[in-house]
């Protein structure tokens, strides 16, 4: 890799560019004829060179690692842009060099092996019609929510749907966030305090880790689904101790041993938080999640249910006690300092739950 790392010309004014389906390219501003150190380069215009950076370049495309090493990376003062963005381009170039550059692709007209639309709700014409009809019945609903829930953005609709979500997941209450990411950020940054300990499975979602980074508690990972390691950590925990797991892990689709974890957590007087993002709509009667499936709802401090995966819409809710809800309304900054979900998103969430309640057969087919 390194030996291909030639620089293209003295002025070094190059840009990294996405070139349709041909992948990432390094656009340089040199005037020189074909550079012998960049055999894949070709002339673009009077002063531009394209150096082929063979794609796809995504974090997961290890299979292509070798074939990508023919690319040439330069350093990047911007040609043509009004601002000097070298500090961005240099980091992007390093990502490209290690085949970890992320990019956005539309995935229409492909067979879906990757999305979280487990029940096909996101593309369901039936759900679409339900949402359209429900919106037609409510011409009074504004297009936007106009502000934070704590100011102008709270409506009766929010309150009703939070009740419905709580009832469905057998909880005392629920609080809707704009996304699962926001919900985890709010929960993990606000609930554990400086003197507390959070123990999290090493494979928990980035949103849990990011929430912990914003908070003040000490946080330690334990080996994935390793009860003995969790117990070692529990023995050493100080302050109030929280344990964070996913009920179904997003990367491998394996399940946490929830009953055993609950036993341990109870033994050490800790509080269990279960992210049910990938179990919502998929596990338990009518998709209520693995906590309800195992009748553990009274032993779990907080659960996260997201609406953007099997439910096919958008948003998320933290479900738990009324006290927890009140606490989050007061302290979760990702709840407080943001414009609340739009009324049409709320209507879509309600309709998705209604469709879920009628989808036992479909859910059964997943197992």
Stretch that binds ligand PLP, among 98-106, 124-132, 173-181, 253-261 (CB under 6 A): 173-181
* Structure tokens that stand for 51 in this block: 């150096």
> Which residue among 23, 289, 308, 320 contacts ligand PLP (CB under 6 A)?
308
For the chain, helix (H) and strand (E) counts, in that order, are: 13, 11
Spatial distance between the Cα atoms of 23 and 96, rounded to a whole number of angstroms: 11
> What is the footprint of ligand PLP within residues 242-301 (CB under 6 A)?
246, 250, 275, 277-278
Q: Which position among 97, 162, 182, 246 bears the catalytic label?
A: 246
Distance of alpha carbon 327 from alpha carbon 108, whole angstroms: 42
Give the 3-state secondary structure of residue 279.
coil
CA atoms within a 13 Å half-sphere pointing along the CA-CB vector of 104: 0
Closest chain position to ligand PLP (CB): 180
CA 275 centroid distance within chain: 12
Nearer to ligand PLP, 38 or 324 (CB): 324
Q: Which of 52, 99, 116, 207 is catalytic?
A: 116
| Dist CA 125 CA 266 (whole Å) | 45
Identity of the residue, 124 or 280, whose beta carbon is nearer to ligand PLP in the bound complex: 280
Smallest gap from residue 154 Cβ to ligand PLP (A): 20
| Candidates 41, 275, 325, 359; catalytic one | 275
Q: Report 175-214 residues binding ligand PLP (CB under 6 A).
A: 179-181, 184, 205, 207
Separation CA 287–CA 162 (nearest Å):
17
Listed in order, strand segments (DSSP E) in the chain are 14-18, 24-28, 42-43, 49-52, 173-177, 197-201, 218-222, 241-246, 271-275, 302-306, 316-320
Residue closer to ligand PLP by CB (options 76, 249) is 249
Question: Could you confirm whether 246 is annotated as catalytic?
Answer: yes
**How many chain residues bind ligand PLP (CB under 6 A)?**
14
- The smaller minimum CB distance to ligand PLP, of residues 69 and 221, is found at 221
Minimum Å distance from CB 277 to ligand PLP?
4
Residues recognised as catalytic? 116, 205, 246, 250, 275, 278, 309
């Amino acid at each position: 890799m390194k030996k291909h790392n030639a620089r293209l010309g003295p002025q070094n004014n190059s840009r990294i560019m996405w070139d349709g389906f041909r992948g990432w390219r390094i656009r340089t501003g040199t005037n020189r004829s074909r550079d012998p150190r960049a055999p894949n380069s070709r002339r673009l215009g009077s002063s531009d060179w394209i150096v082929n950076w063979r794609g796809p370049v995504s974090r997961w495309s290890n299979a292509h690692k070798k074939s990508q090493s023919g690319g040439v990376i330069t350093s990047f003062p911007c040609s043509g842009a009004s601002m000097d963005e070298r500090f961005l381009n240099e980091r992007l170039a390093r990502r490209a060099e290690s085949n970890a550059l992320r990019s956005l692709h539309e995935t229409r007209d492909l067979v879906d092996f990757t999305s979280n639309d487990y029940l096909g709700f996101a593309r369901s014409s039936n759900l679409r019609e339900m949402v359209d009809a429900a919106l037609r019945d409510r011409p009074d609903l504004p297009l936007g929510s106009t502000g934070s829930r704590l100011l102008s953005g709270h409506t009766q609709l929010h309150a009703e749907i939070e009740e419905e979500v709580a009832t469905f997941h057998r909880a005392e209450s629920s609080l809707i966030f704009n996304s699962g990411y926001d919900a985890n950020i709010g929960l993990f940054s606000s609930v554990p305090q400086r003197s507390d300990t959070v123990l999290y499975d090493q494979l928990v979602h980035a949103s849990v880790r990011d929430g912990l980074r914003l908070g003040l508690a000490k946080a330690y990972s334990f080996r994935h689904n390793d009860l003995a390691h969790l117990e070692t950590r529990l023995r050493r925990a100080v302050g109030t101790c929280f344990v964070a797991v996913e009920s179904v892990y997003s990367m491998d689709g394996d399940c946490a041993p929830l009953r055993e974890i609950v036993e341990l957590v109870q033994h050490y007087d800790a509080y269990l938080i279960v992210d049910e993002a990938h179990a919502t709509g998929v596990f338990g009667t009518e998709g209520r999640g693995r906590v309800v499936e195992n009748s553990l709802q009274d032993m779990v401090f907080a659960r996260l249910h997201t609406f953007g995966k099997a439910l096919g819409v958008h948003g998320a809710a933290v479900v738990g006690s009324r006290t927890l809800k009140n606490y989050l309304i007061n302290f979760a900054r990702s709840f407080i300092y943001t414009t609340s979900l739009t009324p049409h998103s709320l209507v879509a969430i309600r309709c998705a739950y209604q469709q879920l309640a009628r989808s036992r057969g479909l859910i059964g087919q997943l197992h």
